[in-house]
Amino acid sequence: MANERFALRAAVYLILIKEGKTLLSRRYNTGWMDGKYSLIAGHLDGREKVSDSMIREAFEEAGVRVAKEDLKPVKVLHRNSGNQEYMDFFFIAEKWEGEPMVKEPNKCDDMNWFPIDNLPANTLTYIKNVIENYKDGIPFIESGWD
Q: What is the pLDDT of residue 4?
A: 87
Surface-to-core class of residue 56, CB atoms within 10 Å of its CB (0-12 exposed, 13-18 middle, 19+ buried): middle
What mean pLDDT is predicted for residues 43-47? 93
Q: Which domains does the chain have, with CATH numbers?
A: 9-143 (3.90.79.10)
Q: Is this structure's pTM higher than 0.85?
A: yes
> How far is the C-alpha of 111 from the C-alpha of 104, rounded, in Å?
11
pLDDT at 88: 98
Per-residue confidence at 1, pLDDT binned at 50, 70, 90? low
Give the whole-number percent of the chain exceeding pLDDT 70. Answer: 98
pLDDT band of residue 2 (cuts 50, 70, 90) is low
Q: Is the pLDDT of residue 107 over 70?
A: yes
As a whole number of angstroms, the distance between CA 15 and CA 131 comes to: 7
What band does 17 get if pLDDT is binned at 50, 70 and 90?
very high
